[in-house]
Amino acid sequence: MSQEHRTNQRHRTLKTGKITFGNGACVIDCVIRNMSDAGASLIVPTTIGIPGKFILVDVHGGSEHPVHIAWRQGERMGVHFDDVPVPAPLRERESVLPRAQPKLVARASIHPHALGTAA
């Protein structure tokens, strides 16, 4: 029988999460199964290719946690938080995208030669 080594009690959750690394260039969806003040348990499509340190984004909680992997087993892994969570700028970035798109369309229509659509 395994012995429990955690000092912080974990709370069961079923949250959408995102694993980000490579300065945000790589994003992997995950499920946050349980969480404590010190870490979390995640379900991922595969643990292969996920680095030892990354940013865990709690989509519903609106925070980012720098983490390192404590264990991996199949499609599950446990992570330890490296510091206190910070507010996630993800929602701010998403809200900027819809506003930027019309500007790009307007610029493209000013330069039809650049698109190869000039008559």
The answer to whether the pTM exceeds 0.95 is no
Low-confidence ranges of the chain (pLDDT < 50): 1-4, 6, 90-119
Q: Looking at domain 1-88, which of 2.60.40.420, 3.40.50.460, 2.40.10.220, 1.10.1660.10 is its CATH number?
A: 2.40.10.220
DSSP for 25-56 reads TEEEEEEEEEE-SSEEEEE-S-STT--SEEEE
pLDDT for position 5: 52
List where CATH 2.40.10.220 sits in the chain. Answer: 1-88
- Count the neighbouring beta carbons within 10 Å of the beta carbon of residue 49: 10
pLDDT for position 66: 95
Which distant-in-sequence residues (6+ apart) come within 8 Å of 30 by Cβ? 17, 18, 19, 42, 43, 44, 56
